[in-house]
Amino acid sequence: MKSIKDAYEELKGDLSDTFMFDKYDKYLYYLGRSGYIAAELKTTYPDGQYICTVEEFNNYKPESSSVWLRKPEKPVYTQVMADAGELPSVGMEFIDLGCDNPEIPKVCLAVDGTVVVYKNSTFDYQCAEVTECKPLIPHIDLIDGKAYLFNLVSGTQVHVGIYSKTLMRFILEVSHYDVSKCANIQLLEVVK
């Protein structure tokens, strides 16, 4: 029988190493040779064992953190760097607006001043013009039903929309935008 301690040590404290983890998952299971899986709904797996909730996993404090080593953070191409005219350097994550899936971060393998080289999800080499390389959008916890100020990753026009958690979009009067395609997101607050 696996324990929360076993899971925490084997996953090195990182649920992103589970099969298809996403931010809505609430429960952690062990599936034998298949490893760990996090699921949104509490369920029964024929050959699986319930371990704990995702919240319990995230709050777990190991007796000794020397048991495992945390993965080093990947360097990220930031808005500050872009504003300063810098390009992504080797190893940095960035967004390529010219590809089919711009919301999926890319990792820079080489840069020559006009082109950035990276591998896509099928491990083919791709090139992006430096003008299409944009910084990653920092994660922000959005509140359902609240108004936000934002612009699209590919533009500078400012929009105001209401966030819909169900649709994962900002809803405007005559249109809507997927959150992954938005940048510079700021909560609008009512001032009395």
pLDDT, tens only, 131-161:
888 887 767 889 999 999 998 877 778 999 9
- The reply to whether 73 falls in a domain is no
Query: Are the C-beta atoms of residues 61 and 42 closer than 8 Å to each other?
Result: no
Partners of residue 161 on adjacent β-strands: 148
Q: Give the DSSP H/E element, type plus range, for residue 72.
A: none
Q: Do 8 and 61 belong to one domain?
A: yes
| pLDDT tens, the chain, 192 aa long | 888 888 888 887 777 767 666 677 788 888 877 778 878 777 777 778 888 888 888 888 877 655 444 555 677 888 788 888 888 888 888 888 777 776 677 888 888 878 888 876 666 788 888 888 888 776 788 999 999 999 887 777 899 999 998 888 999 999 999 887 787 888 998 777
- Is-contact 134 94, C-beta < 8 A? yes
Average per-residue pLDDT for the chain: 80
Q: Return the structure tokens found at 167.
A: 């649709």
- Model confidence pLDDT, tens digit, residues 53-76: 888 888 888 776 554 445 556 778
Total domains in the chain come to 3
22 with 56, same domain? yes
**pLDDT (0 to 100) of residue 67:** 47
Report yes or no: 95 and 102 within 8 Å, Cβ to Cβ: yes
Q: Which of 16, 42, 67 is the last residue of a domain?
A: 67
**pTM of the full structure:** 0.45
H helix count then E strand count, the chain: 3, 13
- Strand-pairing partners, residue 159, are 150
Residues 43 and 87 in one domain: no
Helix (H, G, I), strand (E, B) or coil at 107: strand
Tell me which residue range forms the domain holding 91: 79-134
For residue 116, the domain's CATH number is 2.30.30.140
